[in-house]
Chain A
Amino acid sequence: KAGVTQTPRYLIKTRGQQVTLSCSPISGHRSVSWYQQTPGQGLQFLFEYFSETQRNKGNFPGRFSGRQFSNSRSEMNVSTLELGDSALYLCASSLGPLRSYGNQPQHFGDGTRLSIL
């Protein structure tokens, strides 16, 4: 069974540009969550999508947005990039939405490392 696939693996952008990151979940998984990982802030939850709907959102500005397609693939978009957006962006998938009770581990992709110049 293929794991969570994130593309691209590495990305270099300049301030003010926008970027779109892609995530393909494990087959059969319908929940996709996005995280930002930086040395200073650690892992921070961005948002979760389930059945093409945003279910939860972390404390990030509106420049961060996402969507999910009918095949559960998800994209994350960051507009008007700032230097502080440099980070490892991790996508994670699980069978059901985060609110489900029970053993629902999230399976993570290898991440997209975004560098802003």
Chain B
Amino acid sequence: AQKITQTQPGMFVQEKEAVTLDCTYDTSDPSYGLFWYKQPSSGEMIFLIYQGSYDQQNATEGRYSLNFQKARKSANLVISASQLGDSAMYFCAMREGPNTGNQFYFGTGTSLTVIP
């Protein structure tokens, strides 16, 4: 089974609108961390937001928020007020805890295009 699943290969959003990028994960470890990264066409990976498995509240960082639904094992990224500079690949990632190998897993990514 895939550790991280991103089912949207490509998404389009109108500038200034909000968009949700989907991510589901699979782990048996009770301790894990979930991350979202942005990769512009230039190639660098930029850390956006983090959610710990024991965090009670959804994480927020500026225009980014993470809709964490633990029972469903989903960690969707919400970008509010989209900007042209948000056009990029977005990767969901998970770091498992010590019970299951401590590795980092990435999804296949979602390509977001912001339309003016």
**Interface on A for B, CB 8 Å cutoff?**
33, 35, 42-45, 48, 55-56, 58, 88, 90, 92, 97-99, 101-111, 113
Contact = CB atoms under 8 A, between A and B. Distances in A.
Contacts of B43: 88, 110-111, 113
Nearest to B6: A42
Interface of B: 31, 33, 35, 37, 42-47, 50, 52, 91, 95, 97-98, 101-109
Contacts of B108: 42
Nearest to B48: A105
A106 B50 contact: no
Contacts of A48: 103
A101 B44 CA distance: 25
B52 A45 contact: no
B103 A101 contact: no
Contacts of B33: 101-104
Contacts of A107: 47
A103 B50 contact: yes
